[in-house]
Structure 1
Amino acid sequence: MDIKSERLDRLRLLLNNEGLRDLAKAKVMVLGLGGVGSACAIALARGGVGQLILVDRDRIERSNINRQALAFESTLGRLKVEVMADIIKDINPDCQLESMAAFLHKDNINELLGQFGRPDYVIDCIDTVSPKLTIAQWCQSQDLPLLAAMGAANKLDPSYLKFDFIEHTTYCPLSKVMRRECRKRDIKNLEVLYSNEIPFKVSNPQGREKGATLGSMSYMPPIMGQMLAGKVIRRLTKLEAMPKGMR
């Protein structure tokens, strides 16, 4: 990546060439390209990260348009990894992209993610428990730094968002399940971004399926994605140290 590019001029004022070189050499893996992950991947690309690995199995649906940075009428039906690759290439043609449309589970994660080489950071933006636990176990076994997004559903106020270890989370239904399952699996020092706002209660849901009970504001998942990207960028450029207990 050309760190002298005009695209990076405003970043250079804050990071200097040394910081830009650190980012240009960095490889970051983003797992899940929904509302959180799509915003996160774009922020990393705009921020000068030189290598990105993107994994998501889904295609874009109309219900994604209210919150996902890759969802437009013109992209409906396309694989999210393909659309995100097009967006990132348009932002930063120098960014080296690897992507895969796949669902991660305990029996395939080593094979699927191992082929990409060792990332400098993993960001988990998936919104279901089983893959999140699989990712956390894999990162722990590989001694890889991991940030995991917890739930944005039924949350309204982004000022409640905070980073912490999973053991310290409150008022987050997804975090509650993750806390319990991490204890069972001896997963330690899982750092997460979560909201400790009391969730909004959906009245008269039209059914019990996920889409009928879990509402999402247009701004909450993208803000979470930007915060995750910002945390990783600051750590990769040594503007922020890893917390105690983290790799």
Structure 2
Amino acid sequence: MDKVVATAAGAVADISDGASIAVGGFGLCGIPSVLIQALYEQGASGLSVVSNNCGVDGLGLGVLLGAGRIARATGSYVGENKEFARQYLAGEIELELTPQGTLAERLRAGGCGIPAFYTPAGVGTQVAEGGLPWRYDADGGVAVASPPKEVRVFDGVEYVLEAGITTDYALIRAARGDRHGNLVFDRSARNFNPLAAMAGRITIAEVEEIVRPGELDPDEIHLPGVFVQRVVPLTWEQAAEKHIEKRTVRAAEAGR
């Protein structure tokens, strides 16, 4: 039952080239930055990543992206990462864009053993009809395009069939957790982290504060330990290091 691994390096040591990985967080909020750095230092490449976005240049998944370690990405938004755009347009990386809510449900469905589900999101667009550029060739032509998906009508409304997602591994970050892997997430970090954890066959969680089993009220647990295989305790310095994707400030008022 004790799932604690002493170091992030030890926790990601068996992730091999070509592995598929679901990664929690939203922008730079709630991302497993320590595990990502450990994976970068470990050297695995040719990775297939499923995450809402791919970090920013030099931070989050942008660390792996900048090193050329990611071969394919499934996500909802890549607009804050210039290197991602360059690789995508140059045909160096494959990208499957999917609506954000659909991505969340695909991860949840995979974790629940649901192979596919119907949703109205994307009906009447290339999401359903196919033709979205997944990969470009060196000349700017479409080398790989998304296939058409099944569309059915329920009660007079069209729905598109979306497949659940499972991955070899999941990397997530939690605010609190116990040695059994029961986890609590802080505010916005709760959006994709539990879902990514559910989708991974082996889920590795970096945790800011480790408590003894039984200290967490069952009603406050956001993700039960059954979905978590490895827990990495963070140092105070690691837990405190959090980046802001976009900092916005207002002008100081006169006299202050």
TM normalised by structure 2 equals 0.35
Instruction: State which structure, 1 or 2, has the greater radius of gyration over its C-alpha atoms.
Output: 2
Greater per-residue helix proportion: 1
